[in-house]
Amino acid sequence: MGDQLRYDMIKGAKEALETPGVCSNYSPFYVEKHYKEAMNFKGGNAVYTFPNTPIKCAGAPQKACYITDSILRQRGVRDKAHMIYATSLKRLFGIESYLKSLEKVAREKDIDVRTRRNSIEYSLLHIGPPCSTPKALRTLELVDKNGFMDVDVGSLQSKNFPNVFGVGDCMNTPNAKTAAAVSSHLKTIKRNLWQVMQGKTPSMQYGGYASCPLVVSTNRFGIFHEVLIVERGNMIGADSNDRMATLELLDEDAKPTEGIEKV
């Protein structure tokens, strides 16, 4: 089922998105508005928020902030902007091993990182929306007290119904909610489902893997210029804590679906 965007959990957010200066890359209705706002921005506070709930692609609010920084520099108006990344977390990013690299990016770009702040005036606001599971799932006995499907973090088997397995953002596994994580979920449940159907105990364990290509700059054509590949889990083969200058290679040559598990 995935997760549901919950702009309704922020008082006034849905109405604000219909006004100038407020946008969100998470919504297909407002993603183009973000680009237009960045292209027309003349100065003031540009605020990018991160919610106090689980969220799809936790790196996306930072990507939006960094891409806007690139656009404003290319337009020659970056000095007129006070870029603010406002997060509900105690720090800029939740994964310790990547925190220093991303803090360095923020310093280099002169982005003001504010943690656990409630009220900030803005000229441009990008909303990183709260997320939850859909109501159809939240009302079932499959979920925990927070409304996420309650599963064994290794086998991904439901704790309440042994013939049910979870996959994707709707589960209460601690991994980041990304497409790469879903691919690893599928590899796990394909084997475990078959074993349960044969009357056996599921043996394959999900290792917690997730990854996110975190764009930190773009060129004047809007193509990724620098990307930090953020990975987590015991399936990581190399440390990707340094930024990668990808230029056009990632955008033009790489196929996003390569390596994704299919069923």
- Told to judge if 57 belongs to the known catalytic residues of this protein, a careful annotator would answer yes
pLDDT by 10s per residue, the chain, length 263:
789 999 999 999 999 999 999 999 999 999 999 999 999 999 999 999 999 999 998 889 999 999 999 999 999 999 999 999 999 988 888 777 778 888 888 999 999 999 987 789 999 999 999 999 999 999 999 999 999 999 999 999 999 999 999 999 999 998 889 888 999 999 999 999 999 999 999 999 999 888 877 777 776 655 555 666 665 654 333 444 555 444 344 444 454 455 555 55
Taking the model in full, what pTM does it have?
Answer: 0.83
Domain ranges in the chain are 4-131, 134-197
Q: Which of 23, 131, 170, 212 is labelled catalytic?
A: 212
* Catalytic residue chosen out of the listed positions 23, 57, 65, 131: 57
164 near 152, Cβ under 8 Å? Answer: no
| CA distances (Å), origin 169, targets 9, 128, 134, 191 | 18, 16, 11, 20
Question: Is 65 an annotated catalytic residue?
Answer: no
pLDDT for 60: 92
SS3 165: strand
Q: What's the rounded Cα separation, in Å, for the pair 11 and 262? A: 39
Phi-psi region of 31 (alpha: psi -120 to 50; beta: other; left: phi over 0): alpha
Rounded to whole angstroms, how far apart are CA atoms 18 and 97?
38
Q: Could you give the CA distance from residue 71 to residue 75 in angstroms, rounded to a whole number? A: 6
Under the phi-then-psi rule, with left for phi > 0, alpha for psi from -120 to 50, and beta for the rest, what region is 227? beta
Name the superfamily (CATH) of residues 4-131. Answer: FAD/NAD(P)-binding domain (3.50.50.60)
